[in-house]
Structure 1
Amino acid sequence: MKKEKKWELRLYIAGQTPKSVVALENITKYCKKHLIDNYNIEIIDLLENPQLAEGDQIFAIPTLVRRVPEPLRKIIGDLSNEEKVLVGLNIRPIDK
């Protein structure tokens, strides 16, 4: 059986703003529920590393970027709409 590649996600934030905190809580919850142990979330704080915004062309925050599996996908906002996030990242819900 072929092992699936681990999902690689990046969450771009700018400090601990309420939207950034909620976005991290939401994506962590969705990943634990639907990707179980098959994911990695990298947090990039643009207040500390503003140059990193250019690589993934980040224009708004918070922004979630799915790097693996390809193709690259982005979702902007606090990620509070679970269905929209799952569709945007092309994650098939486990509980349906």
Structure 2
Amino acid sequence: MQNDDEIWELRLYIAGKTTKSVTALKNLKNYCETHLKGKYTIEVIDLLVQPQLAEGDQIFAIPTLVKKVPEPIRKIIGDLSNEEKVLVGLNIRPAKKLE
């Protein structure tokens, strides 16, 4: 169940400014602004700069999104282009559309 006061802590692992990495970050920001506006943080970790950080979250593919908070921890691999899959994977209820 989503707690309306909870700040979502998201971590996106990328490897440089590849097309997939840039697309993943753009998609993630778009989904967060739509469904979690004002209630999220995104930490972007470039594994070309900080490769040692991959081990902590057991990152085996790039890009990978990790939802740290709220629990349970979830991971989604890829450029995050399928919004429905991302929302389901992160257990985010879609924002209600205004009619």
TM-score by length of 2: 0.93
2:67 is matched with 66
2:94 is matched with 93
- How far, CA to CA, are the matches of 1:3 and 1:65 in structure 2? 20
- How far, CA to CA, are the matches of 1:32 and 1:23 in structure 2? 14
Count of aligned pairs: 95
Tell me the CA shift for residue 4 of structure 1. Answer: 1.8
- How far, CA to CA, are the matches of 2:6 and 2:55 in structure 1? 25
Q: SS in structure 1 opposite 2:54?
A: helix
Tell me the CA shift for residue 41 of structure 1. Answer: 0.3
Identity %: 73
Q: Structure 2 unaligned segments of length 5 or more: list them.
A: none
CA offsets 1:15-63 (integer angstroms, 9 cap, x no match): 0000000000000000000001100000000000000000000000000
Greater than 2 Å deviation, 4+ residue runs = none
Matches within 5 A, 1:1-96: 4-96=5-97
Q: Structure 1 unaligned segments of length 5 or more: list them.
A: none
- How far, CA to CA, are the matches of 1:46 and 1:71 in structure 2? 24
- How far, CA to CA, are the matches of 1:35 and 1:22 in structure 2? 19
Q: SS in structure 2 opposite 1:87?
A: helix
- CA RMSD in angstroms, aligned pairs only: 1.2
CA offsets 1:63-82 (integer angstroms, 9 cap, x no match): 00000000100000000000
Tell me the CA shift for residue 95 of structure 1. Answer: 3.1
